[in-house]
Structure 1
Amino acid sequence: MILQTLLLLLGFFQLPLANKGESDKPNIILIFADDLAYGDLGVYGAKGWTTPNLDQLAADGAKFEQFYVPHAVCSASRAALLTGAYANRIGIHGALDHSAKHGLNPKETTIAEMLKSQGYATGMVGKWHLGHHPEFLPTRQGFDSFFGLPYSNDMWPNHPETKNYYPPLPLIQGEKTLAFLEDQSELTTWYTQKSLEFIDKNQDWPFFLYLAHSMPHVPLFVSEKFKGKSSQGLYGDVMMEIDWSVGQIRKKLKELGLEENTLIIFTSDNGPWLSYGGHAGLQGGLKEGKGTSWDGGIRVPALMAWLGKIPSGTTLKQPTMTIDILPTLAEITGATLPPLKIDGNSMWNLLQGKEVKPTPYFAYYNQNELQAVIYDKWKLVFPHVYRTISAGSELRNDGLPVKYAHIRLEKEQLFDLSHDPGETTDIYSNFPEIVKMLHQFAEKARSDMGDQLTQRQGTGNREPGRISEK
């Protein structure tokens, strides 16, 4: 294990030589946390721990109050982030594990592939979760380098509910396994170190760094330097280490004189895994969590800072979504949008304080179920089955989950999220015209991408990549 650790600490990314990009193209750092909840940052009301570096990032740029993921589960959320398309459009559902024989189709265009066409060096550190077979790894999807895990950090033999179902958890560099993890306490530190190395090596030309933290997804691990630092416990310690990681990256940018030409984006793949009790994040007043299309599952914190380009201290209230990141980066860098249809729209005008017409967003879950549509301040939720913590359940604080109960929502419900972010009061009968409008949006989505809840087949769906059976 000592030798393995030394290999990790001494290993370097091997990047091809590249010409220096044009000075007007910013460096881009996209930080994607795992299961980090809406209320987990100080600027979103966190209690029990502090996040000074992330709070400063918000002060230096924009804080989003209504930022969404389209799918409240790992693989689907990541597919949407990196392609700008709803994951159900491109055939990615749920959370892929070691038994999956499919992944993100190489025909799809990722942010990394798009930016490489503009002369960017591209590196990925952290959790991938879009196919663990070689043909689906980051190095086949536009990234010059990769250091991290092929899927979630709980997909290992120590899973509390499925002991020994998963094989040993591989830590991969490029396409080679460096080690099988027996302990994850240094994972956030390693990810941070590899990110800093990538920035150092690519400081002379434009770069895109995608840092996808494994934390605060369970099982929670934290290094010795942050153990016991928060008043909340282990989850708070983990949050403080993630915040430290952001601080280290910003410090490096400042040292290299890159701070003013770097766009930093920080967000999360979905809301908290509530069944894990004290090992889950803070809902921030929202309803439910991960694995649901209520706002607690799909609304996440989001911060974007680019000194001198995004007005500091901005708060954005208009709904936006992770699918908007790719087209935003295309506009900023002058890149051409992917040839296959995507679903997002550029946020650049919004980030600069200009008025932008709202657009409808859709929340999909399970196997292509259209569970909700969001437009401006309105949210229409369709009848479906969702999971919840049973009343009277005694949540734990030892890394073991309680069982979910399942509830069937029998009737459509409408919410005004500007006054009721917790989705407590159904106002469906009060606004028939709004309901009609949202139904029209939903029907277009069903015609295009299908909807399992209404047994609709879409015309715009694409297949994922699949390994060839031998």
Structure 2
Amino acid sequence: MTWIYRKPFLKITFFIVLIAGVWSALGGWVARPAATTPNVVLFFIDDLGYGDLSCNGASGYTTPNLDQMATEGIRFTSFLAAQAVCSASRAALLTGCYPNRVGMFGALGPNSPIGLNPDEETIAELLKEKGYATGIFGKWHLGSQAKFLPQQQGFDDYYGVPYSHDMWPLHPNQAQAHYPPLYLIEGSAPTQEVKTLEDASQLTSSITERAVGFIRKHKKEPFFLYVPHPLPHVPLAASRRFRGKSAIGLLGDVMMELDWSVGQIMQELKQQGLDKNTIVIFTSDNGPWLNYGDHAGSAGGFREGKGTSFEGGHRVPCLIRWPGVVPAGRVCNKLLTTLEILPTVAKLCGTRLPKKSIDGVDMVALLKGDETVTPRDHFFYYYRKNSLEAVRKGDWKLVFAHPGRTYEGFLPGKGGQPGPSTEEHEFPTALYDLRRDPGERYDVREQNPKIVAVLEKLAEEARADLGDDLQKRAGKNGRPAGRVGN
């Protein structure tokens, strides 16, 4: 009897060991995303200045979740928004193109007939083609007409505001701007009206709740989660849980709540076992709106702020984290921009680039730890409709004579009311060495004529490509924005 049962026992044991080996090799019976399909979470914060994170020097409050993200990933110190104004900046982020290449300028109003052209391919469309679930929860601002809304630009799910939440009946400059009611959009349909600051105080928490729900819903498939929070763009509003928590008033309260939001989303990734297979990117659309004073953020010591071609308008925080792929605890001082997000995400996720030409360059090798590479050589600072106001190569920046916004010399506002500024200050041509003079105070053109010549040559190439309104020149390669009726 002993022999009769021993042979089947050995067969069963061998079968169990074989199954265990297969289980181990395949990582268990649970299907796991391939190495080329990491999840992507992209935070794009509105009017957040370089100095608004505690890891970048903010005081009066702390941003512990973002500081931890910086510790666990890479923190960039010379990262630029593609343009220092809302709609243009967002178009660049999602297409990898200078905004004037795709015909997008300024900040679109509620009834604008213009929007991001549906012919342009966004990050969401490229990843959706790869099988990703795609969702946006927050501020869109790339056209509020039906044909321009997120679900027509590659996103499966949308919840948020269609444009800046100061474009509403309570705008402080109502004498100059009469805005229609502001509604939250779900999918493509208006839902709840944002009538009061109390309503606005729920934006961060409701967006966070939707983002967390999106992760839970799509935890078994690759996803692209885009979280463009409307705050700390004015008017500031914090939920009751965060009011009075900071030492500097409402701005600090709002920043603490935004940091909480990042923490909630990061925590959900960990709880769902997705943390190590998710690229998380945090950055801003432009610098702070400085004439709002105590309701404005900090440019971190850089010159000027939102709406200018100086560093305070363009230089923004950027953190990128992907455990096991992006080495932790690094600081990168190289010139990089939001234009790089699309080609970098596309390469990491194994999808193609847009069929039309783009301006971004992938920085995958740098992210993975190769400090010898320099992905971006130069950058063009455009503003207004299509004015080339500056060009940068490495640490050298040549600013061309131009009229523009300045906050300097004006007393900032207080309590949510803006102070004065001017849009027609005449800035002279000047060369700055950003390594030694990050505040752009000392014109060193006379000492560096060869550098000036190099930068002027680059500018001529840009003008031939995209044009320059300051010189009344049309470029060869601009593409039109979308327009209602076309």
TM-score range, shorter chain: over 0.9
* Shift, 1:208, TM fit: 0.2
Q: Kindly report which structure 2 residues correspond to 1:247-266, keeping only aligned pairs within 5 A, or say none.
A: 247-266=263-282
Say yes or no: does 1:241 pair with 2:257: yes
Comparing 402-411 with 283-292, which one deviates more in the overlay? 402-411
Q: Distance in 2 between matches of 1:410 and 1:263?
A: 40
Q: Please tell me whether the aligned partners of residues 111 and 144 of structure 2 are also in contact (alpha carbons under 8 angstroms).
A: no
Equivalent residue for 2:438? 421
Q: Distance in 1 between matches of 2:430 and 2:266?
A: 43
Q: Distance in 2 between matches of 1:397 and 1:411?
A: 30
* Shift, 1:254, TM fit: 0.7
Partner of 1:126, secondary structure, is strand
Equivalent residue for 1:382? 400
State the one-letter code of the partner of 1:264. V
Q: Please tell me whether the aligned partners of residues 21 and 120 of structure 1 are also in contact (alpha carbons under 8 angstroms).
A: no
Say yes or no: does 1:460 pair with 2:477: yes
Q: Kindly report which structure 2 residues correspond to 1:63-462, keeping only aligned pairs within 5 A, or say none.
A: 63-162=75-174, 165-182=178-195, 183-354=199-370, 355-357=372-374, 358-391=376-409, 393-406=410-423, 408-409=425-426, 411-462=428-479
Gaps of 5+ in 1: 1-18
* Shift, 1:390, TM fit: 4.9
Largest Rg, 1 or 2: 2
| Cα distance change of structure 1 residues 20 and 120 upon mapping to structure 2, 3 Å threshold | farther
Equivalent residue for 2:72? 60
Q: Distance in 2 between matches of 1:443 and 1:348?
A: 29
Q: Please tell me whether the aligned partners of residues 21 and 119 of structure 1 are also in contact (alpha carbons under 8 angstroms).
A: no
Q: Please tell me whether the aligned partners of residues 383 and 408 of structure 1 are also in contact (alpha carbons under 8 angstroms).
A: no
* Shift, 1:411, TM fit: 3.4
CA root-mean-square deviation? 1.4
Q: Distance in 2 between matches of 1:279 and 1:337?
A: 39
What's the CA shift string for 1:433-462, capped at 9, x where partnerless? 111111111111110000111111100000
* Shift, 1:145, TM fit: 0.6
Q: TM-score, normalised by structure 2?
A: 0.91
State the one-letter code of the partner of 1:378. W
Q: Please tell me whether the aligned partners of residues 169 and 181 of structure 1 are also in contact (alpha carbons under 8 angstroms).
A: yes
Q: Please tell me whether the aligned partners of residues 390 and 405 of structure 1 are also in contact (alpha carbons under 8 angstroms).
A: no
Q: Distance in 1 between matches of 2:255 and 2:427?
A: 37
Q: How many matched pairs?
A: 450
Q: Distance in 2 between matches of 1:410 and 1:300?
A: 22
Comparing 230-239 with 156-165, which one deviates more in the overlay? 156-165
Q: Please tell me whether the aligned partners of residues 139 and 175 of structure 1 are also in contact (alpha carbons under 8 angstroms).
A: yes
Identity of aligned pairs, percent? 51
| Cα distance change of structure 1 residues 446 and 30 upon mapping to structure 2, 3 Å threshold | same
Partner of 1:31, secondary structure, is strand
State the one-letter code of the partner of 1:448. D
Q: Distance in 1 between matches of 2:149 and 2:60?
A: 37
Q: Distance in 2 between matches of 1:297 and 1:57?
A: 24
* Shift, 1:99, TM fit: 2.2
* Shift, 1:394, TM fit: 3.2
What's the CA shift string for 1:145-172, capped at 9, x where partnerless? 1000110010100000025711110101
Q: Distance in 2 between matches of 1:102 and 1:208?
A: 26
Q: Kindly report which structure 2 residues correspond to 1:18-37, keeping only aligned pairs within 5 A, or say none.
A: 22-37=34-49
What's the CA shift string for 1:182-225, capped at 9, x where partnerless? 12111100000000000000000110000000000000010011
State the one-letter code of the partner of 1:216. P
Q: Please tell me whether the aligned partners of residues 76 and 331 of structure 2 are also in contact (alpha carbons under 8 angstroms).
A: yes
Q: Please tell me whether the aligned partners of residues 406 and 423 of structure 2 are also in contact (alpha carbons under 8 angstroms).
A: yes
Q: Distance in 1 between matches of 2:238 and 2:201?
A: 5
* Shift, 1:21, TM fit: 5.1
State the one-letter code of the partner of 2:69. L
* Shift, 1:410, TM fit: 5.2
